[in-house]
Amino acid sequence: KMLFLTFFLGCFALVANRSAPPATGAIEPRVRDKLDSLATSKNLLDAVKFGEDVIEKSKRMEGMIAGSRVKVAKGSITYAQVIDGYSTDSTQKQDYVARTVLKATSYFLNTYCKPQRISSYECGLYLSSKLIPQSKLLDKCTKIVNGKTYNDEYRRLLPASYHDGIYQFRKSVAGGELPDPRSISSKFHGTLAQSSEDHQHSVALVQWTQFIEHDLAKTTVQTMHDGTDIECCTADHSTVMPRYLHPACKPLNVAENDTHYKTVMPRYLHPACKPLNVAENDTHYKTHHVTCLNYVRSALSLGDTCNLGPANQLNQATNRFDLSQLYGNHESETMPLRSHRGGRLKSQSFDSTEYLPENKEKKLCVVNATLDAICYESGDSRVNVNPYITLLHTLFLRSHNRIAKHLAVFNSHWDDEELFQVTRKVNIEIYKKIVHEWSHTVLGENVEVDQAAGFKEPRVSNEFATAAIRFYNSMMPGEIFSSAPAARYASFDMEDLFYKPRDLRKKEYFNHLISSVLEQNAMSLDTSYVEDMAQLLFKTRNIGSDVLALDIQRGRDHGLSSYVNYYKLCTDKTIDSW
């Protein structure tokens, strides 16, 4: 199993060292000539106008949805997903412009390419090399692209695979709908009782993988034009009326016979919604009458050009091993985290020991702000996703401040800024050393992940962020055990701790976590998931989501290609049969 993982992660790491596939390499000369004749200034401007009109009309639709009862409730499963995919103001603005570009692309495809029997794939590839014509849309796009400090678009190892060549979820080779993600995942979850431990790897491998993922990748979710979060299911996890279903919604459907789960009336469903459907025979969700699990489509990027073309998703992380999960991705995020004294980060002290500062408004946790609950703050909104991640944030915060104090002693002439920047560099180098050891454990001794080793394209791939790195979810334990004497072999259920942190200032709990990371076995890398991940993710009132179903849905949302195509990319071999 680890060999299978090593093969594909190693493949993605090595393929990342190649140039991106050419955008127009698959277009026949005859088809290209035809497309050139269709892509007149008038036709392109008509497409842009259509896109702008559709987005303007969507604002009225969003106003209707906002006025309904279909809203994200604090403390809900959807609220936890919002924290997980929290988007900044700049991300929201870029996504809205990118959606306008996407509508323009779709118009050109349907109006000019299809009548000429030009394939959606070729049309999409062609448009990805065409600049938006001179217009207000181009002005908006140019302003956003020129303001970027790095290219925040995921790169692709293979071209986007959408049914319409632009944005629609791909279909089967026979042209039918792909099976519901929850129906697929539930087949694996039927082996929950067969979950076994990995006696060669500790929980440290799992949590370092997730911590590294948070440094390299941050996929965010779409919002309404005014930043309002999108809900795709009703409060009781049923379907929204069509008129209230946002276009960005792609909820997970639950079958009627799902014994655990049971969707928002379509009129209230935002277009960004792609909820997970739960089948009638779902043996887990049926007992709770759940038929809908929330999924909002990911935010889109304009890339580093203002071209038309298929959708590509935005990465809010920096693409580099730079501890951005601790320091933030931009200076505007870093400054509020600094104490501005002695080069240190803000912290709270308890019993002469440093801990992460509190998120006073508790926006980063699934808890009621009026309750006496703890909620931590760091450079990434996912700091409270589980205790292990919070622990690693705390340890690197302490590392930063310890280094800053030592540097201040020997460099009394340095001001706060110089102390902070040098300390940050040292802390990142320590982190990189551990990443190096992690890479050898996961990828093998012969695969390097050093970005300085001649990478032609340093951006994180959509395939890596959306699929490959997610292997750790199968290895996540359902309970946090500790053999530390003070812990008295206590345990905590993970299902009760997603974005619901306990107080790390209680030393017995902190030591409990340290002991668990170092001594507790990870779960085996296989098709079995512990119940906490399989159907109790972000649990609220005994109902949770399904991490594997969400990952499958996200892969389709992002236009990832099929397994056989990636196998061919990595091996140059074609799979003809199973």
Q: What are phi and psi of 493, to 5 degrees?
A: -80, 130
Q: What are phi and psi of 374, to 5 degrees?
A: -90, 150
Cβ atoms 180, 525 nearer than 8 A: no
Using CA atoms of 424, 429, 430, 432 in order, give the dihedral in degrees to the nearest 10: 120
Count how many domains the chain has. 1
CA distance linking residue 466 with residue 551, whole number of Å? 7
Tokens found for residue 574: 């074609």
In a domain, 296, yes or no: no
Alpha helix segments (H runs only) across 85-152: 89-108, 120-127, 136-146
CA distance linking residue 443 with residue 438, whole number of Å? 8
In a domain, 26, yes or no: no
In a domain, 503, yes or no: yes
Long-range contacts of 107-115 (CB under 8 A, 24+ apart): 107/46, 107/47, 107/50, 107/51, 108/38, 108/39, 108/43, 108/44, 108/47, 108/308, 109/164, 109/165, 109/166, 111/43, 111/46, 111/47, 112/38, 112/43, 113/35, 113/38
Q: What are phi and psi of 489, to 5 degrees?
A: 55, 35
Cβ atoms 340, 416 nearer than 8 A: yes
CA distance linking residue 185 with residue 199, whole number of Å? 25
In a domain, 525, yes or no: yes
Among residues 557, 466, 568, the alpha carbon closest in space to that of 168 is found at: 557
Specify the pLDDT at position 195.
66
Chunk the chain into consecutive blocks of 10 residues (it has 578) and report each block's average pLDDT, rounded to whole numbers: 54 52 67 97 98 94 88 92 95 97 98 96 94 98 94 94 94 91 85 74 96 97 95 84 77 63 61 86 83 94 96 95 96 97 97 93 79 87 97 98 98 98 98 94 74 63 96 94 64 92 88 92 91 93 93 97 93 87
In a domain, 496, yes or no: yes
Long-range contacts of 432-440 (CB under 8 A, 24+ apart): 432/321, 434/208, 435/212, 435/321, 438/205, 438/208, 438/209, 438/212
pTM across the whole model: 0.91
In a domain, 51, yes or no: no
In a domain, 32, yes or no: no
Half-sphere exposure of 335 (CA within 13 A, CB side): 3
In a domain, 527, yes or no: yes
Among residues 313, 207, 362, the alpha carbon closest in space to that of 555 is found at: 313
Cβ atoms 356, 391 nearer than 8 A: no
CA distance linking residue 460 with residue 451, whole number of Å? 11
Q: Which residue has the tokens 């408004």?
A: 361
Cβ atoms 142, 101 nearer than 8 A: no
Domain, as residue range, for 482: 475-542
Cβ atoms 138, 33 nearer than 8 A: no
The angle formed by the CA atoms of residues 235, 181 and 442, to the nearest 5 degrees, is 115
